[in-house]
């Protein structure tokens, strides 16, 4: 198992806390999944930008595209 698993879990928990605290109306209302996803991603990126092991990374909600081309994961 990845030695950073507890860091990842904490990051997701912090992100969810921010989402629920700041945007609870999106969740309890009739907001689209994309709207909720956007706000989750915004909070996630804010958090990971403060952690050295994630230096240089960003959150991309359109994970399956790179402009008009499909994204490929570098091996």
The domain limits of the chain are 5-70
Per the prediction, the chain carries an average pLDDT of 86
pLDDT 10s digits, 14-42: 999 999 999 999 989 888 888 999 999 99
Find where tokens 């928990």 sit.
Answer: 13
Q: Please enumerate in sequence order all residues whose Cβ is within 8 A of that of 46, keeping only pairs 6 or more positions apart, or say none.
A: 18
Residue 73's pLDDT band (boundaries 50, 70, 90)? low
């Amino acid at each position: 198992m990845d030695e950073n698993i507890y860091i990842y879990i904490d990051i997701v928990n912090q992100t969810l806390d921010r989402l629920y605290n700041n945007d609870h109306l999106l969740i309890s209302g009739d907001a689209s999944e994309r709207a909720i996803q956007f706000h989750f991603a915004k909070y996630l990126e804010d958090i990971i930008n403060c952690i050295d092991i994630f230096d240089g990374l960003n959150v991309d909600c359109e994970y399956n595209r790179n402009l008009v081309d499909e994204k490929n994961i570098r091996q």
